[in-house]
Amino acid sequence: MAKRKSFEDILNAEVRWPTKGDKPFVVSDDPFDNANIADDGFTRLVLMMKGYKMAADLMIERSAKDRWIRDMLVFPVIFNYRQFLELSLKYQLAVYGPPVDIQPNWKTHNLASLWGKFLAMLEHYGTEDPDEADPVVGKIILEFAKIDPTSYSYRYPVDQKGNPVPVAYNDLYLPTLADVMQAVEGYFTGCDGYLDNLMSASPY
């Protein structure tokens, strides 16, 4: 385990202080050094969906040997994975829902509601579930919905009235969380490919 910094170490650390001319948003002269922010809505949805999960994966990897970092990053880790789930469901509904008269819902953060619409969409397409993965993924999504109903619990310590937001767990083993979310990503990737083939081959 990495040595935790002492108070003296923190005090003696070099501090980057704001200076005149600081600008947060600049563009490098070399285009390859820049991050491109897609202006196409669908592309942005895909990149956000993948990016939030990748960020959580990287944070777990970074905190593997440092308890101090782990205790700080657990909040954005859980939020990012939840955001990945929400965007994954909204992506599937936006792409494959309209052909079977199921409209996407961009207003809600309710994972349980989005999962219900997703299952209804699968039923319209007549998809099979030989591995019985649907109920497994459903249980995972509903667990996120339970511990963070409105995508708020891991972004703020208090609610809008200043009352402490309760947490579902006092301790959490992050590598298992990452492994489970890897499986969920595989599930949604599989659904994407399967539904795309069905839609391409059907008269919808």
pTM of the model: 0.90
Q: What's residue 128's pLDDT?
A: 84
Integer Cα distance of 119 and 87 in angstroms: 16
Q: Given pLDDT bands bounded at 50, 70 and 90, which one contains residue 181?
A: very high
Residue 199 has pLDDT above 90, yes or no: no
Integer Cα distance of 171 and 16 in angstroms: 33
Within 36-126, residue ranges assigned H as helices are 41-62, 67-96, 111-125
Average pLDDT over residues 140-145: 97
Of 36, 80, 75, 37, the C-alpha closest to 57 is 80
Q: What's residue 126's pLDDT?
A: 87
pLDDT single digits (tens) 31-45: 999 999 999 999 999
Residue 36's Cβ-side half-sphere holds a number of Cα atoms within 13 Å equal to 9
